[in-house]
Each structure stands twice: as C-alpha cells, then as structure tokens.
Amino acid sequence: MAVQEWSDNIWVVRLGDEPSLSEDLLRLKDWFERAPRIPDLVVDLSAVAQLNSSHLSQLLRLRRAAIDREAKLLLAKPPDHVWALFLTTGLDKVFEFAPDVSTALAGLRMKNK
C-alpha cells in the first residue's frame, strides 16, 4: 500500500492486489479508528484484480470509520470487473466513486474550500 499525503486534509492510498490487499485494508481501517485526526481519503483501486466478501466488509468498516470521524472516503478508478462487483452487490449506491484519482482530488479540494 502506498500512501501519499496530497495535502494536510487529503491523502491518496494506492491499493495493490493480494496477497497484501487484505492486510493493507485492515491496517488502513485500524489507523482510521485510532488517529486523532484523519484526512479525507482517496482509495485508488486501479491495481486491484479482484475483491471478495472480506475485502468488501473491510471497505464498509473503513467507510463507517470515515463517517464517524467526519472524513470523506472516495473510491477511485475501480477496474471494470471490480466495478461489476459493486453493481451486483448494490454497494455502488453506498460508496462514493470517482473515475480517476485526479477527479477525486478535484472534488475533495472543492469540498475543503
């Protein structure tokens, strides 16, 4: 997992594929729950080959932690087969998505002004 502090208020997290994906999502959620202040977060899914129910559960927990801490969570650039999973499960209506990281960052910058 690569984390880029894009600004004081916005971080970009680039997730990879397994075997590190599950561990990275768990670390990210744990950090979100413990940090005194959390930034808005853009999660780049472009390198993720597949998600399973455990990954979806971890993303939902991450979303809950963001909401509880009044932070914004955007999922960016999911590959078509990953996007299909969000559509099939109805989670496309739960998460906020951006077509790419640049668009997500632009949207968050507008929110933070």
CATH of the domain at 63: 3.30.750.24
Model pLDDT for residues 4-26, shown as the tens digit of each residue = 778 888 999 999 888 889 889 88
Which pLDDT value is given to residue 4? 78
Model pLDDT for residues 29-47, shown as the tens digit of each residue = 888 778 777 889 999 999 9
Count of domains in the chain?
Answer: 1
Which pLDDT value is given to residue 36? 77
Which pLDDT value is given to residue 101? 95
pLDDT level of residue 113 (50, 70, 90 thresholds): low
Beta carbons of 74 and 99 less than 8 angstroms apart: no
Model pLDDT for residues 47-98, shown as the tens digit of each residue = 998 899 999 999 999 999 889 889 999 999 999 999 999 999 999 999 999 9
Answer with the residue of higher pLDDT: 74 or 107. 74
Structural domain for 100, as ranges: 2-112
DSSP state of 82: H
Which pLDDT value is given to residue 112? 62
Which pLDDT value is given to residue 110? 77
